[in-house]
């Protein structure tokens, strides 16, 4: 497969706190799915521009950052090709519901 083909099938993970990005990266790689971790929103947009099939984003990464470049990138997608986005949220158990 070409480099562009590999890039277009990979997952980009943005989970800047804790070990979430490393754990997700390891799980995907062990399952045979190409993935890379981004350190911040700027790097996420850069990696998505290079090519990706999926974005996995922790909600805390969106709270204090400038999401306008991400929204602009998503707004320029072809109508037939929406990027799947998985949003990871914190779940604190029954006492936090």
CA distance 94 to 71: 33
Cβ contact 61:42 at 8 Å: no
Rounded to 5 degrees, φ, ψ at 33 are: -105, 130
Residue 89 has pLDDT above 80, yes or no: yes
Cα within 13 Å of Cα(26), Cβ side: 5
**Number of Cβ atoms within 10 Å of the Cβ of 61:** 23
| pTM, entire model | 0.85
Q: Quick one: pLDDT at residue 6?
A: 61
Considering the four listed CATH numbers 3.20.20.70, 3.40.50.1110, 3.40.190.10, 3.40.50.2300, the one that applies to the domain covering 3-96 is 3.40.50.2300
CA distance 16 to 24: 12
Q: What is the pLDDT of residues 20-76, one digit of tens each?
A: 899 999 999 999 999 999 999 999 999 999 999 999 999 999 988 899 999 999 999
């Amino acid at each position: 497969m070409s480099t562009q083909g590999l890039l277009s099938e990979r997952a980009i993970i943005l989970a800047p706190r804790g070990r979430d990005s490393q754990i997700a990266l390891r799980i995907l790689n062990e399952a045979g799915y190409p993935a890379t971790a981004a350190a911040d929103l700027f790097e996420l947009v850069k990696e998505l521009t290079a090519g990706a099939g999926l974005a996995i984003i922790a909600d805390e990464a969106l709270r204090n950052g400038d999401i306008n470049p991400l929204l602009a990138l998503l707004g320029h997608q072809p109508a037939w090709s929406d990027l799947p986005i998985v949003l990871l949220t914190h779940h604190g158990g029954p006492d936090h519901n």
